[in-house]
Structure 1
Amino acid sequence: MKLKVFLATSVSVTTVLAASAALAQSSPNPVASGTPDQVEEIVVTGFRASLASAIEAKRTATAIVDSISAEDIGKFPEQNLAESLQRITGVQISRSKGEGQNVSIRGLNPDFNQISLNGRSLPSPSGSRSFDFTILSSDLINGLDVYKTPTADLIEGGLAGTVNVKTLRPKDVRDMRLVANVENLYEGNAKKSDPHFALLFADRLFNDRLSVIAGVDYSKRAIQTYRYEAFGLELASEAAKNLDYNRDGDRLDSFKINHAPSFATDFGQRERLSGNFAVGFQVTDNFDVWAEAINSRFTNDNGTARNAHRFTNISDPNGVQASTIDSNGIVTVLDSNGVDHRNNGRPTYYKDSLDDYAVGGSWSNGPWKVSAEASAGKARRVATDVSLEVIARASVSQNIAIDPGGPAQVTYTRGYDPLNKANWRALGLNGTYKQPTTDETKDARFDVAYDFEDSFFKSLKVGLQASERTHEVVSQTLFVSAQQLAPLLGETYSPTIEGGSFAAGAYMRPYNFSNFLGAYDGKVSIPSQFLSSDPKLVFAKVSLDKLAAQFPLTKNLAQTYGVQEDGFSGYAMVNFANSDDRLSGNAGLRVVKTSQTSSGYSPDLSLITFNQQGATTTVPSVTAVQYKRSYTNVLPSLNLRYEVQPDFYVRFAAARVLSRPTLSILAPNTIVSANVLTITKGNPDVDPYLSDQYDLSAEWYFKSGALLSGAIFYKDVQNFIVNTSTNQTLQIKQVQGATVPMTFNVLQPDNGGNSKIKGFEIGYQQPLSFLPSPFDGLGVIANYTYVSADPLSATAGQAPTPLPGVSKNNYNLVAYYEKGPFGARISYNYRDKFVVDTLSYFGDGQYTNKYDQLDFSSSYKLNDHIEFTFDVLNISNSPIVNVNKYGTNRGYEDNGRRITLGARLKL
């Protein structure tokens, strides 16, 4: 029987045949062949074909790898790559404004991943080791591979795993394709619709010797996020604050106070424009060359309106009217006059750019194959985040005992009206202005492979790679005082009110909501309206650029730094298999030398000033410093696969793996905040993470297109980097007052010891094609991951603390239906509670509660060329909830639902 198969071009011929054969065997009522030459045509497309392709890729791989393939050219299973990756066993994600952003593998922080594009490293606009997937369009991506065990030829750095993002490449093009996607994105909270469109073209020319690929993707998305935010429990001294919190007649006690319960909304839009271009030329039958480029621009144009109550800044020494204190010394109820009501509005604008270029070629002759590649990438973020600082003095109470895991109950008392514009005073403008962060990569590699004949050793592969990564941050802020700003706006400045201010009423905007924190269903009453400053009302009179030109930017040299890493690596890897291929695998060795240069400024902490008006801290005196170091690591790896029987495989892997510290950790920078009493330092001397890891897995392909798999894993991670915490008392000069002593929590990263990470994964997927029609189009996917990590001690004598980012229990459930022109699936994702930061600002930590989300996707093919789609993201309207170690809420984020309606044209 001959099969004609149409599938995504990323799938190899072997994969296509295996996947189509599997699906053909499961198809009911095959058409009888009238003659031996009669051809039966089976069309394999869509989500089920994508799953079959992923199963076949997993089965044939020598390492432990999970894959996701495009359902068709220009059609990925999810609109966001991170949200696709979370369906893979052992993968979790974090979200930004309800959209998948970063990826965790087996519980480890996203910085432990190596994210590559077609096998080469990618720079990141944020400058971290983790990669923000919001900058890449899924419509330009053809597949994802998640390597949970390394091979010697993979780029080092993936201690948790390596995610290789694959675009359509010249060698994948078979014939002319033109695909256009047009979608309407509707945001439930914002109640706005925005467009998304993508166009992808591929063809082979000049007798199939020249391949060309061109793609463009544009999307716009409205943002409307509702948030409750608190900053933790500050240990407040009655003597330092000149207050009697417990009303016992003295001012000698200290209590933990919820620093600043705040309600906020983020609104605006995100816009992304991406392009993908590639060309390949077959010079001779055994020599080809190619060039690729991917470019993306991501713009975030948002505003934040805030309703914040700083209970640790009370102006009235006799202001406390009532309080309740629990057994932990936490003030659960506090009612006071003179509370700092700080409703700052903050437009946030940043533009990310990502450009990656690569050229390469390959030559083969008999058993020899030689390939070379050179690439250069640059990511850049330019950010502006300016706040109009306003203040009122409120009579207000907070109660965190009504719903400890939910928002604080905030109630205005004794006649205070938060909506009266006359209550508000403007203190000035401050924030970052066109602050640049850049991340550049340069890579070159050369690989040689030799295939053996009739031998246990099938091939030998050796290679060299040189790389350079440069990360730079220039910290600069704009500060315009009330005294400087008032005459430009025609306002009357008062030097005596709030240390210098002017009436802010003309620059306040009312915000009214019918569904603020609509996902919350607890006992606390959520305010539905508040006033917040709007800096754009200031900029209507005097532009931000004019202000920046008139008032020189403050260069925050203590926070300005650069880190350069030069790497040189070589590897050798042998692939082997016995005569019947039942035992196969690879063994290799990778040797990596890293040279690091960290440049920055060391501050003089005896000269710190604090401006209460803008809650801004200045370190005026610094000294330039530079640190250099180098180190070499030897990284062996082994991957074995044994075919117990034709449908059952067992795998074993062992390796030593490496992850370098986050680039900002390696910087000699210092961030001082007298507002939340923290000093955060970098540390160029921390060592890289090293892990000895072992994996054992079993895979049973018990039916056509079906898989039941299980795996156990163990990682012994050394040189773990954690924040050490010490206290330091400094004399702080207050702009609005005298010099006073303040005790800071000093946080600095250091190698805190080892942690053993272990767990297991179970995966199951099956098309239920044995069911009677029409139910034979059903299918199911389910997976579960358990992760356990030993706690860490930051320094000798400290109590162990949980490892950040580790969720013990994680699982996915997917049910799908695909038959004829119609396809639909519903997906449920669950992630357990995990630690964000064991210390945070005030030592009480930050933890993200368990999170689950339900999504829906559907499609209808009108014919071979036109298809309609309908998707709903976050049907469950799930919020993201953060708490501290006492269970007191640190944050509640409501991103709402997203609905997409689209059409796809394919030629």
Structure 2
Amino acid sequence: MYTSNISKFNKRTAIAIAVAGALTNASAYAAENDSSVKKKEKEAEIIVVTGFRSSLKASMLNKREAINVSDGITAEDLGKFPDQNVAESLQRITGVSIDRSGGEGQYVSVRGFGPQFNMVTVNGRQMATENSGREFSFDTLAAELITGADVYKSPTAEMQEGGIGATVNIKTARPFNFEGFKAAGSVKGVYDDLSGETSPQVSGLITNTFMDNRLGVLVSASHQQRDSQTNMMETRYYRPGVNFTAQNGKEFNNVNVPQNFDIGVDEQERTRTSGTAVIQYAPNDELTLTFDGLISKFEVDSQATNAGHWFSEGNFIDAEVDENNTVVYIENSNAGATDFIRRSFGREVDMNAFGLNIEYMVNDALTMTVDLSRSNAQENSGGKEFFNVIGYNNAYTWDNRAGGDAPTLSVAGGDAALLNAEAGKAHYNERNGWDRDDQLNEYRVDFEWETGQDTFTQMRWGVYSQNRTKEASRLFASDCGVYCGYGTDVSSALLTPYVANDFFAGVPNTWLTYDPAEYGAYRASLDPITGEAYNNPTSQSDAYTVEEDVVSAYVDFIFEGELGDMPWTVNAGVRYSKTDANLSGITRELVDLEPIPNDPSDLNEIYAAGDNGTPVTSSNKYTNILPSMNLKLELTDEMLVRLAYSETLTRPTMSALNPAVTITNSRPNNNQASGGNADLKPYLSTNWDFSYEYYYADTSNFVLAVFSKEVDSFITSTVAKEVFNLESGSYDFDVRRPRNGDVVEVNGLEIAWTHTWESGFGIQANATFVDSDATIDDSASESFALEGLGDSQNIIAFYEKGPFQTRIAYNKRDEFLQNLVSPFGGSEPLYTESYAQWDISASYDINETITLFGEGINITNEETRRHGRHQNQFVRLESTGARWAVGVRASF
């Protein structure tokens, strides 16, 4: 297993750690996984650190001793991570930014490279993921079970390939990190401002060693509930290149038209249950066996209620556009509709991981480590997400001319028109959702040889094998062919008023809602056959399976010496990697598109009778040689510089390898399809890093780093017109596919300063500035840009003295490209605007055992705003509100 240190437990480092008294449980685990661990140095592992200042000291020491460019965070005490969420702690690190879901950190970007470009491991092992790609969802893990996390920004040859941005290693506790019995636990209540609900969260850990510290057992568990609320309004996406004539005679050519305007509230019940178990056995001083397991179950029960208005330019009485040819004002006739929408954004994730690690000291110079692991992640949401619409014809006016945070909406008849239960009629209904299963097996053997020489001090080599299978299928059902078009009355007894509290200004805050199950039963009573089909969703043609085998081997060398009186260390190595993938998808024969009665805005897709899908298979193979070099020169006892060169790769997103083509939208003059590319090769990056680090006190430093990455074979998304010849005629489809080809250059600057005073006050500040030559082509035929690229800044002020500790943190992420193609629909890009958030925490030690604490997240209730290709193309505004927690923590 890799670590950030070259000879982490040589005498010099062990003495430094012992003198500083700052090796934490987490860093001890990193050493535990390092094949260079020596039993005779075990005392250096068991140094417990508590408090934010000590955590800071340990992280700073780890960074200083590392051979490569890295940063890290460490638990302040057993079961006490700096933030409520692992990703939210990682965002405090220079160069790291996050994406949130429901106000919680979910994905991590590093140095402008989005989640798919970062390799995430747990205890040095890659984890299976429940999503469509390789990116890891941090919200599936409870922070209380984590002892630390390291972000490796320049690799060594022993590190598993895959992270162009960085490799992030999350660490959990081991019983050999402690001597004897240790227990810790916490209980807290979390209050969400918007929902007004308080939810419980509990966690605990117990560990002990036996047989003269040769046998250790550790178990930990966490259960968290959260009742949250998200207020939102959105247009979903804009349709470019639209030509129309308004009913007042105005002509519009090549304009961007918003697809709809929805306002709504998503009420979520989040439940996260996680646990770990570890057994360690050292029968003698040469052999250590570690067996560990991790399980996590994360469920999001989402119940959203919206009031929506669909925009069809044929119903526009009047419209206005701005300088970007974007429609900013719509007066819609009563041929339009007001829709009352019930939908779900739920998740149901099951994840587990098990591993066996065998560390054997062959002799005083040679150590062998064997590691076997297996992880599995499942998303079980197939057919469980719903989208139901009841509506009626109505006139309304939508206005975005002011260019504020969001448009305004006024409905004919005033807000009371949104409460007319007698007018409700059935419209569109669907069941949707993905089932995914990711199985990942890893095997590795590593050797480390201490040469005993003065200059050539160490050699490491090893082999690695991974077998991974990801299967994904989408279950879908719709009764649109029967009910679309507002032709069927709905019983007024189903509809009740909904009041959105603390809602946005300029739009109604009251509309009709209903129970989706009762509405489904009502439709089934009208048409039992259609109801039966709706309740039994079927697998769709966008299902895919990726079977991937990776075999790697590496060797690296460590050299040490002095330049004058300046110590230097060089790590140089090379990694060989071979990837073989077998890919399969499903294609269905589209024979026609048929109009839907009463709904001219949509078309029915007609497939060949009895065609449940034909398998499409392909394969993909490639081999890569990845050299790396890390140089550290200690200018003085306080100052050092680093220089690193490496070549890294990131494999394509697994869903992008699907060899089949899938229809994604079928509407008059707006037909869309997407397909994968089984021949995609990995992103390949050439990287340079330089950093200057000045450690002028145990908990104070200044760091300046610059980096450059040139990414070849960058995967871009292209759109081309393709003609589908169907029974009723020929139809143009915009078909989007990924391909390799372009080169992206990313350059960046990182600045970090940490200073503490003897009075107990301290400050951390850092900023990351990134730039790239990749920009989106306004022709919209080709998308070529780096998702997640943006500047970020952090400031943390803290006070810790005696039993009292408090901290306030500010994090800002500048505007960035969220998606090349908006996940909300259409073919246009999606940007997330600049977002800043304030968090606070405080604690008081009653005694050495009991601590009272309080936390506040997003205390100023900041909102997230997203826009399309142009700034004025409003796409989404959402508010998750502030959340507060109070609790008690005990450690024995």
Query: Paired residue for 1:588, among 570, 573, 585?
Result: 573
C-alpha distance in 2 between matches for 1:799 and 1:477: 30
1:634 aligns with 2:625: yes
Alignment of 1:120-159 (within 5 A): 120-159=125-164
Mapped pair 1:672 → 2:658: no
Query: Quick check: 1:458 aligned with 2:457?
Result: yes
Deviations 1:698-737 (A, max 9, x none): 100012321101100000101111211223455789xxxx
Task: From the superposition, tell whether residues 508 and 750 of structure 1 become closer, same or farther in structure 2 (CA, over 3 Å).
Answer: farther
Partner of 2:755: 766
Equivalent residue runs for 1:742-757 within 5 Å:
743-757=732-746
**What secondary structure, in the 3-state scheme, does the structure 2 residue paired with 1:475 have?**
strand
Give the CA deviation at 1:624.
1.6
Aligned to 1:837: 819
1:752 Cα deviation from its structure 2 partner: 3.9
1:52 aligns with 2:57: yes
1:277 and 1:293 in contact (8 A); partners too: yes
1:379 counterpart (377, 380, 388): 377
Aligned mates of 1:283, 1:543 — CA distance in 2: 66
- Kindly tell me the number of residue pairs found equivalent between the two proteins: 837
> Does the aligned pair in 2 maintain the 1:557–1:600 contact within 8 Å?
no
- SS at 1:342 equivalent: strand
Q: Which amino acid aligns with 2:690?
A: L
Q: 1:613-692 to 2 correspondence within 5 Å?
A: 618=605, 620-621=607-608, 622-669=613-660, 670-674=662-666, 677-692=671-686
**Is the CA contact 1:507–1:535 (under 8 Å) kept in the aligned structure 2?**
no
Displacement of 1:671 in angstroms is 4.3
Q: After superposition, where does 1:289-328 map in structure 2 within 5 Å?
A: 289-312=289-312, 319-328=315-324
Query: How many angstroms does 1:454 deviate by?
Result: 2.8
CA-CA distance at 1:835 after TM superposition: 1.1
Who is 1:502 aligned against? 489
| Aligned with residue 535 of structure 1, among 516, 528, 531 | 516
Secondary structure of 2:116's counterpart equals helix
Deviations 1:558-578 (CA, angstroms, capped at 9, x unpaired): 211111110000000111211
Number of the residue aligned with 1:363: 360
Cα shift at 1:542: 9.3
**In the alignment, is the contact (CA less than 8 A) between 1:124 and 1:439 conserved in 2?**
yes
Matches of 1:609 and 1:371 in 2, distance apart? 63
1:755·1:792 contact (CA, 8 Å) conserved in 2? no
Give the deviation of 1:810 after TM superposition. Answer: 1.1
- Pick from 680, 683, 693 the counterpart of residue 687 of structure 2: 693
TM-score using structure 1 length: 0.87
Is 1:331 matched up with 2:313? no
Structure 1: state its 5+ residue gaps.
1-11, 24-41, 484-494, 518-523, 734-738, 770-775
What SS does structure 1 have at the residue aligned with 2:373?
strand
Is 1:516 aligned to 2:503, yes or no?
A: yes
Say which SS state the counterpart of residue 189 (structure 1) adopts. coil
Percent identical among aligned pairs is 28
Name the SS for the 1:755 alignment partner: strand
Deviations, residues 34-87 of structure 1 (Å, cap 9, x unaligned): xxxxxxxx9962000000000000010001110111111111111100000000
Secondary structure of 1:701's partner?
strand
Alpha carbons 2:119, 2:166 under 8 Å: kept: yes
One-letter code aligned to 1:748: R
Partner of 1:781: 764
Provide closer, same or farther for how the CA distance between residues 293 and 617 of structure 1 changes in structure 2, counting only shifts above 3 A: farther
The answer for the alignment partner of 1:437 in structure 2 is 436
**Secondary structure in 2 matching 1:262:** strand
SS in 2 for 1:257: strand
Give the drift of 1:453. Answer: 0.8
Q: CA 1:731 to 1:220, structure 2 compared with 1: closer, same or farther past 3 Å?
A: farther
| Deviation of the 1:237 alpha carbon | 5.0
Q: Are 1:708 and 2:702 counterparts?
A: yes
User: Relative to structure 1, is the Cα distance of residues 797 and 554 closer, same or farther in structure 2, using a 3 angstrom cutoff?
Assistant: closer
Instruction: Supply the distance in 1 between the matched residues of 2:106 and 2:450 (Cα, whole angstroms).
Output: 41
Q: Deviations over 1:715-768 (max 9, x none)?
A: 0101111211223455789xxxxx687644322111140011001101111111
Give the root-mean-square deviation of aligned CA atoms. 2.9
SS in structure 1 of the partner of residue 655 of structure 2? coil
Corresponding letter in the other structure for 1:452: T
Q: Distance in 2 between matches of 1:731 and 1:896?
A: 50
Q: Give 1:654 deviation, angstroms.
A: 0.3
SS of 2:278's equivalent in the other structure is strand
Which is worse superposed, 419-428 or 709-718? 419-428
Deviation at 1:321, TM superposition (A): 3.0
Structure 2 residue runs of 5 or longer lacking an equivalent are: 1-12, 25-46
What is the CA distance between 1:500 and its match in structure 2?
4.5
Amino acid at match of 1:673: N
- Residue in structure 2 matched with residue 247 of structure 1 by the alignment: 248
* 1:311-335 superposed Cα distances (whole Å, 9 cap, x missing partner): 1276xxxx54333233443332221
Q: Which one is further off, 171-180 or 261-270?
A: 171-180
Shift of 1:428: 5.6
Counterpart of 1:855 in structure 2 is 839
Counterpart of 1:342 in structure 2 is: 339
CA distance in 2, matches of 1:413, 1:216: 55
Q: Give the aligned partner of residue 178 of structure 1.
A: 183
Contact residue 753 and residue 766 of structure 2 kept, 8 A: yes
Instruction: Tell me if structure 1 keeps the 8 A contact 2:818–2:830.
Output: yes
Question: Contact (CA 8 Å) 1:428, 1:501: kept in 2 or not?
Answer: no
One of 471, 482, 506 as aligned partner of 1:525: 506
Counterpart amino acid of residue 369 in structure 1: T
Q: Confirm or deny: 8 A CA contact 2:477 2:537 kept in the other structure.
A: yes
Whole-Å separation in 2 of the counterparts to 1:740 and 1:191: 55
- In structure 2, relative to structure 1, the CA distance for the partners of 1:740 and 1:869 (3 Å cut) is farther
SS of residue matched to 2:699 = coil
Q: In the TM superposition, what are the counterparts of 1:788-803 in structure 2 within 5 Å?
A: 788-791=771-774, 801-803=784-786
Matching residue of 1:816: 798
| 2:750 pairs with 1:724 | no
CA deviations on 1:255-287 (whole Å, 9 max, x unpaired) are 432210111211021001101100000021111
Q: Is the 8 A contact 2:291 2:356 kept in 1?
A: yes
Cα–Cα, structure 1 residues 717 and 348, in superposed 2: closer, same or farther, change >3 Å? closer
Distance 1:150-1:501 versus aligned 2 partners, 3 A rule: same
Counterpart amino acid of 1:747? R
Say yes or no: does 1:449 pair with 2:448. Answer: yes
Task: Tell me the SS of whatever aligns to 1:247.
Answer: coil
> Secondary structure of 2:344's match?
strand
Q: 1:584 to 1:795 in 2, by over 3 A?
A: farther
SS in 1 for 2:656: coil
SS at match of 2:635: strand
* Matched-pair contact (CA < 8 Å) for 1:389–1:533: no
* Cα shift readout 1:482-532 (whole Å, capped 9, x = no counterpart): 85xxxxxxxxxxx8x937423253333322123113xxxxxx612211123
Return closer, same or farther for 1:291/1:844 CA change in 2, 3 Å cut-off.
closer
Q: Is the 8 A contact 2:425 2:487 kept in 1?
A: no
Equivalent pair of 2:467/2:549 in contact (CA under 8 Å): yes
Superposed displacement of residue 604, structure 1: 3.5
CA distance in 2, matches of 1:22, 1:184: 31
For 2:649, give the aligned amino acid: L
The Cα of 1:552 is off from its aligned counterpart by 6.8
1:134-283 equivalences in 2 (<5 Å): 134-235=139-240, 244-245=245-246, 247-248=248-249, 255-283=255-283
8 Å CA contact 1:784–1:810 kept in 2: the answer is yes
The secondary structure found in structure 1 opposite 2:452 is coil
Q: Could you tell me which amino acid in structure 1 is paired with residue 506 of structure 2?
A: S
Moved more, 604-613 or 834-843: 604-613
